[in-house]
Amino acid sequence: MHKSLSFRAAVVSLVLLTLFLGIWEGLNSAVKDKAPLSEYELLMGGASQEARVPPPSDVFRLAMEELGNPFYDAGPNDKGIGIQLGYSLYRVLTGFFLAALIALPIGFLVGMSPLMHKALNPFIQVLRPISPLAWMPLALFIIKDSETSAIFVIFICSIWPMLINTAFGVANVRQDWVNVARTHELGPLQTAFQVILPAAAPTILTGMRISIGIAWLVIVAAEMLVGGTGIGYYVWNEWNNLDLASVIFSIVMIGMVGMLLDIALGSISRLVEYEE
């Protein structure tokens, strides 16, 4: 009997994961067996552990603990993973939606008007390759608030893929469909909403999907810089505490949330996709 492709793929994925975790666990416990911790080492909080990456079982135990109570808040340096992720998500989504608010109309304008395309293109080309983190000092100086600065950095990095994809999608709407709008005497607004927007929507959504991916990459680095709250700060803080199990756990969580964001945008883009 041939099982379905996705079933077989899932089996292979599980085998690979088990292998990887098994080897990781095995290597670590081998080290442990050879050199059991002396009382001195234990007292030093595992000074010799510097060289030792915690085995997956440790990480798993910690993950269970953290996920069991994700929203506790015990002071500025001890908050649950859920709270930290919540801060990061809030910043990413705020920056992202602000960027969409600006990028979509401007992208539309650039896509519709060859004049605006030519006029704005030089700015876009210069601003786009700037690493979003390079804006951080300027943002901190002008805004004087680390929270808002982080949102601003997300805003700046989300804007370009959305703007460029929107402009491209709008500029490349098939002339036939524009002609359909013209022969039916649609006004500019009706043409924009009934023909151009649906025609360009898949391209626009691709831009949004790229944007949110980049935003999630950037927020971790931004929060390491500004500190205070958020998953990026959490990773850095745990590193300073030399709690590597927490570092690994949060790395995995960053990946999971990033994947969920992508899945969310992916399912929205499936709604607007069409087949010619």
Binding site for another protein (CB under 8 A): 176-177, 179-180, 182-186, 190, 194-195, 198-199, 201, 272, 274-276
Q: Rg of the chain's alpha carbons, rounded to an integer?
A: 24
| Token code pair at residue 162 | 């959305």
For residue 164, give the 3-state DSSP assignment. Answer: helix
Q: Is 64 exposed, middle or buried (0-12, 13-18, 19+ CB in 10 A)?
A: exposed
Give me the phi and psi of 160, to 5 degrees please. Answer: -70, -50
Helix (H) or strand (E) holding 49: none
CA 157 to chain centre: 11
For residue 79, give the 3-state DSSP assignment. Answer: strand
CA 263 to chain centre: 11
d(CA 157, CA 95): 9
Task: Give which of 101, 100, 107 is closest to 169, Cα–Cα.
Answer: 107
Query: End-to-end CA distance of the chain, in Å?
Result: 37
Check if the beta carbon of residue 31 is closer than 8 Å to that of residue 37.
no
Instruction: Please calculate the CA angle 239-95-73 and round it to the nearest 5 degrees.
Output: 45
* Shorter beta-carbon distance to another protein: residue 199 or 247: 199
| Token code pair at residue 4 | 């379905």
Place of tokens 């340096």: 77
d(CA 213, CA 153): 14
